[in-house]
Amino acid sequence: MNAANRHPDSSVAAVVAHWTNGATCWFGGDYMNARKHLEQALAAYDAEPNLETFRASTLDLPFVIMRFLALVLWPIGQIDRARRLAAEAVRSSGEKRALSQANALVHKAVFDGLCGGPLQQTETILALALARDHTMPLYVAAGTYLTGLARWRAGDREAGLAEMHRGWTLLHENDCYLCEPFWGMQVAVANAAAGQTDTGLEILRELIDVTEQSGQHWLDAELHRARGELLLRRDPTNLCGAEGAFNRALEIARSQQTKAFELRSAIGLARLCINNGRETAGSEVVARALVDFETGQDLPEIEQAKKLLRKSR
């Protein structure tokens, strides 16, 4: 069927089908198929000669797809493209509908949180203001949480953690458990930093257990890596428990081909090994994780890994 004879709904259907399949694969931890479907969704959108077909839709389709694709690409090591997509999806979400804007800002903050760096407080505050002004309870919850995370990462630890807890409670009150591993893991890490390591470990234990029921496996490697870090924080002599957690994180990351998560886990395991006289083992694990990264990518973990390599020689 040529483009002239194709019903416009078929284009929307193709894009939505690939987008929903891609998002479903991502939640399930199937990063490669998630990428394939989301790339196909963008290609189907780009191939449509009459973009009014999509503008008439209630969905901000291409930008929603870009937001999910950014969350897929960063873990698999496509760092620079992921950042470009995440930024573009906020700048270009230009129809100025409050829901679209709030969704874009929340996705961007989750992306920034996943990457481990600072969050833009102006963006999280704007998302929260939009949600309150337009009575969007779910985005009030997410905006509250993310504003707290932004404050926590900026150094306002006590107030930031309190706001994260408040937002997390609101998310549950709205029956929102999408991205639950992300929300919970950040709270666990923040609790541990506040001296409540046992609380953090209990949160991680529950999250790991719940993923088996929910099927949300997209952050499994990070949950086990964080557990290894917290086990060492609680008891630096508990090398066996922490090493087991790091190795489990590495196993998951390699099976999902999430190179960024693999590198983070390798750094944790390498530090454990090097600090306990096993320099060769530490060097090997971090060198393996570095192999697939392209030179010139702006990722702090790459420099951390290189420093560990130099230290182990």
CA–CA separation, 222 vs 77, rounded Å? 15
Residue 311, C-beta contacts closer than 8 angstroms, at least 6 positions apart: 274, 279
Residue 14 to residues 7, 11, 21, 246: CA-CA distances in angstroms? Answer: 12, 5, 11, 40
Tokens 């929603």 belong to 64
pLDDT of residue 4: 40
- 51-60 LR contacts (CB < 8 Å, sep 24+): 53/8, 53/11, 53/12, 54/11, 54/12, 54/15, 55/95, 57/12, 59/16, 60/93, 60/95, 60/97, 60/100, 60/103, 60/104
Going residue by residue through the chain, which has 313 residues, state the pLDDT in tens, using 9 for 90 and above. Answer: 344 444 445 777 888 899 999 999 999 999 999 999 999 999 988 887 666 666 655 457 888 899 999 999 999 999 999 999 999 988 765 556 788 889 899 999 999 999 998 999 999 999 999 999 999 999 999 999 999 999 999 999 999 999 999 999 999 999 999 899 999 999 999 999 999 999 999 999 999 999 989 999 999 999 999 999 999 999 999 899 999 999 999 999 999 999 999 999 999 999 999 999 999 999 999 999 998 786 667 899 999 999 998 887 7
Tokens 């930008």 belong to 63
pLDDT of residue 92: 62
pLDDT of residue 296: 65
Residues 123 and 109 sit within 8 Å (Cβ to Cβ): yes
Residues 261 and 300 sit within 8 Å (Cβ to Cβ): no
Domains and CATH numbers, the chain: 9-94 (1.25.40), 96-176 (no CATH), 200-313 (1.25.40.10)
Residue 118, C-beta contacts closer than 8 angstroms, at least 6 positions apart: 112, 150, 153, 154
Phi-psi label, residue 295: left if phi above 0, alpha if psi -120 to 50, beta otherwise: beta
pLDDT of residue 7: 47
Residues 181 and 145 sit within 8 Å (Cβ to Cβ): no
Residue 180: name the closest of 139, 226, 216, 225 by CA. Answer: 216
Count how many Cα atoms sit within 13 Å of the Cα of residue 153 in the half-sphere of its side chain.
20
